[in-house]
Structures are given as structure tokens and as C-alpha cells.
Structure 1
Amino acid sequence: MSAEVPNKDFPWWLVVLGATGLWAVYEVWASPAYSEVMAGLVKGIWVTIGVTLVAYVLACLMGLGLAMAGLSRFRVLRQAARLWIEVIRGVPIMVLLLYVAFVVAPGMVWAWNQVAAFVGFDPIRPRDFPLLARAVMALTLAYSAFLAEIFRAGLQSVDKGQSEAAMSLGLNGWQRFRHVVFPQAFRVILPPLGNDFVAMVKDSSLVSILGVADITQIGKVMAAGNFRYFETYNMVAMIYLVMTISLSLLLRRFERGMKVVEK
């Protein structure tokens, strides 16, 4: 006889994290060392949020395009989408960041200069391609492959009869996708999309290897200058925890709200 698992446990883990957060707030208020660290890290918070939002939106658009290409009736599109997804998913994000920053971006600058010389525009230098833009590009490419698989699974979860019924009503391909297929697929893909968004918040810390002034990079520079490694990395970890746990709770609440509306 298997033991019954309670449906709802009291979230003691959230109580522990809340108490830890209150301790961190108190330390920032009462300790000059923590106050100094937090004042420096605030600038990096906005960079982290900006990088995450821009890269995630672009990755969603690219991932949706890849998913639709992978489900296309044209073999070339299907094979090209699968090639991209398998290659990108097989390369570590840190390696992809370095490759985009120091191989792809200079190559794009060279290609632009070739076109500029032909049409009479001024050439640009590799340093004119900001590291922040390179970091956003790399995260976009990295997550596009993972999001493409999420979109593909969601689109395939919709019964073909739904699309056929919409076709019989005279809807064209775009109207069927917009009004019939995607709204049903969205209920399936929302949880994994939310999980990947939270994961990107954490993976955005990798842009610090390019010198982008996000939370992690500012923390490394501050710790190397004032030797307050304990206080600095405590606050860095706490900021990421607050961001990711808050997003996770909001996404869970949104999912529950959607289920109530469906009922």
C-alpha cells in the first residue's frame, strides 16, 4: 500500500527564504559594508534585466520561426531548422558567447565593410560593435534552439482536426494559426516558456565573461577591489534568488489563473 502524498504542503521553504531575505535587507540597512556593495550592484540589476528581456523576446520570435520551419511541408526548411537546433543545442552557452563575440561579430563587421565600400558608406571597426549587443545576440541564438523545441511540441499537441475544421470554415493559413492553433498550443507551452525565462535570468550572468557590466561582473570587480568577497557574493546570490523565485511564483499564479478561466 503506497503512502498518500498530501495535496498541499505549507511552503516552509518560502518562509526560510523570506527570513533570509529579511536578514539581507537588515544587513543592507545596518551594515556599511553591505550598503556599499548593494549600491554598486544596483547598476548591474538593470543591465541584467535588459539583457534578459531583449534576448528572450528575440529568442521567442526566432524559436517560433524555427518551429514553424521544422513543421513546414518543404523538406529544405525542415532539414535546415533541425540542423540549426541540433548544432546550437550541442554547443555550451559560454562557448557560444565567446564564438559570437570574437568570431561572428568581427565577421559581420567585415561583411558590412565590404558592402559599405561598394555603396560608399563609411566603414566601421570591430570595437563599434558593442559587447552588450554581442552578448544579447549570443543568448538569443542559444535559447532560440531550446524554445523552438518547446513551440514545436506545443503546435504538434493541437489536434489536426482543429485546423481542418477551421479550413472548412474558409480561414487561410495565417488565420488558422492565429485564431485556432496557437491559442490552444499556448496553454501547453506556457509552463516550459516560463521555466526557460527564469533559466535565462540565471544564464545572463555568463555575459560577464565579455566584460558586460551585469550583476556578476560588477560583483567580481567590486570584490577584487575591496576584498569583501563574503558580503559581495552574498548580495549577488541574494539578488538572483529574489529575481528567479519571484518570477517562478508569478508564473505559477498566472498558470493557476489560466486553469480557472478554462474551467
Structure 2
Amino acid sequence: MLCFGYALIGIVRLSPTPPLPWIARAYVDFFRGTPLLVQIFMIYFGLPALAQNFGFIFSLNRLAAAVIALNLNSAAYIAEIVRAGIQSIDPGQTEASQALGLSSVQTMRHVIFPQALRRMLPPLGNEFISLLKDTSLVAIIGFEELFRKGQLIVAENYRSFEIYATVALVYLFLTLLSSQAFSRFERSLNPINEKSN
């Protein structure tokens, strides 16, 4: 469901009907143009402070703030990947599909998007790996993910090199595993490469 939402932002950016593409462009520019660390602070500390100015009192727990910040940031990058993937398909295919009586939605679903998805997979894999590594940033608000767990262990036994090296190896293992998974999925969508292998 989240992936559909991310893709929808990219598709909206291609819409000829204002103001939707302007809003999508502003969203993408903001979250791609500002540091993720700043976004985490804005959501965890800034949103409750802003709400308090309007008479509402609430607080976000660390997990919710981390998930929201990482998703909002990643959505901006994925939206651009989707937009670029769709635009890489020859416009003549859209014209031919509509000449055959397919609607815009049918054309996107059955003709354009399946081809674009193959071209999106490598950058989508890169974005997933970047997101995986970016989870370490949420340690700044005290959320106990992998890096934060390492910090807490170091605070107990002071063996910083060994602990951080272990954390780095775990991240490396996860990124290599993710890279292999995306590579296999990419090959499965390309029957020519699959047969040649």
C-alpha cells in the first residue's frame, strides 16, 4: 500500500492538471532538498511544538517518528524514480494503445508500467539500501535500532571498535542480501537474461 502511494506521487508529477503536479513537485523538492536528520527532528520535536502553539498537546513516540520521517523521505526519492521510469518509455506506445481503444489507466497498467518497472528496479534497489543504512540516523532521537543498540553496548563495556565493527558488518550483510534479492527479482522480470543465465 505504501509503495502504491509512493508511485502515485510520481504519476501525479506527470499530470497535466494543476495544481496537483505543483504540490507533488514541492513535496519532492522539500524532502530531497533537506537533510534527513533535519526532517527527523522536525517530526519528532517540531510537530508536537507546532501543535502546542495551536492549543493541541500530543507527543510522538520514537518508533512512530522514525517510521514517518523515513517514509516521507523515501517517498520523495521513489516518486522521482517512478516518474523517470515512466518517462523513459517511448510516448508512441501510449499513442498506439489509446488508438487501440485503451483508456489512460489501462495503458498505464498494461503497457507502460510493466516496462517501466524493469527500468525502475536498479534505482529502487539502491534507494532501499540507502533507506536501510539511513535507519542509523534515528538513533539521534533515542530510537533503539541497530546502531543505537551498539551505542548502548559501547556505553557498558567501552569496546567501541569491536562493537561498531560488528554493527558495520551487520549492515553490510543486510545491504548485500538486499542487493542480491533485487538482482534476482530484476532477472526474473527479464526472460531473455534468465534464459542466458
**Normalised by the size of structure 1, how large is the TM-score?**
0.67
Mark the CA change 1:133 to 1:165 in structure 2 (over 3 Å): closer, same or farther: same
1:126 aligns with 2:69: no
Alpha-carbon shift at residue 107 of structure 1 (Å): 4.1
**Mean alpha-carbon deviation: is it higher for 191-200 or for 98-107?**
98-107
1:71 aligns with 2:10: no
Identity, % of aligned positions: 40
2:71 is aligned, of 109, 124, 140, to: 140
Alpha-carbon shift at residue 81 of structure 1 (Å): 1.6
Mark the CA change 1:80 to 1:212 in structure 2 (over 3 Å): closer, same or farther: same
Aligned residue type for 2:15: S
Q: Calculate the aligned-residue CA RMSD, in Å.
A: 2.2
1:241 aligns with 2:172: yes
Q: Which residue of 2 aligns with 1:61?
A: 4
The Cα offsets for residues 114-136 of structure 1, whole Å up to 9 and x where unpaired, read as: 6xxxxxxxxxx523x32111111
Alpha-carbon shift at residue 106 of structure 1 (Å): 4.9
Q: Which residue of 2 aligns with 1:232?
A: 163
1:101 is aligned, of 39, 44, 47, to: 44
2:85 is aligned, of 154, 158, 162, to: 154
Aligned residue type for 2:84: A
Alpha-carbon shift at residue 227 of structure 1 (Å): 1.3
Which segments of 5 or more consecutive residues in structure 2 lack a partner in the other structure?
Answer: none
Which segments of 5 or more consecutive residues in structure 1 lack a partner in the other structure?
Answer: 1-56, 115-124
1:105 and 1:134 in contact (8 A); partners too: no
Q: Which residue of 2 aligns with 1:186?
A: 117
Alpha-carbon shift at residue 249 of structure 1 (Å): 2.1
Mark the CA change 1:195 to 1:108 in structure 2 (over 3 Å): closer, same or farther: farther
Alpha-carbon shift at residue 171 of structure 1 (Å): 2.3
The Cα offsets for residues 80-128 of structure 1, whole Å up to 9 and x where unpaired, read as: 22222112211011111111111125546887x86xxxxxxxxxx523x
Q: What is the SS of the residue equivalent to 1:74? A: coil
CA distance in structure 1 between the partners assigned to 2:188 and 2:6 by the alignment: 26
Mark the CA change 1:109 to 1:163 in structure 2 (over 3 Å): closer, same or farther: farther
Number of residue pairs the alignment of both structures matches: 194
Aligned residue type for 1:247: S
Aligned residue type for 1:93: L
In the TM superposition, 1:35-50 aligns within 5 A as none
Q: Which residue of 2 aligns with 1:170?
A: 101
Question: Higher relative contact order at CA 8 Å, sep ≥6: structure 1 or structure 2?
Answer: 1
Mark the CA change 1:170 to 1:110 in structure 2 (over 3 Å): closer, same or farther: farther
CA distance in structure 2 between the partners assigned to 1:105 and 1:132 by the alignment: 15
The Cα offsets for residues 129-156 of structure 1, whole Å up to 9 and x where unpaired, read as: 3211111111111112111111111011
1:91 is aligned, of 34, 57, 62, to: 34
CA distance in structure 2 between the partners assigned to 1:184 and 1:105 by the alignment: 43
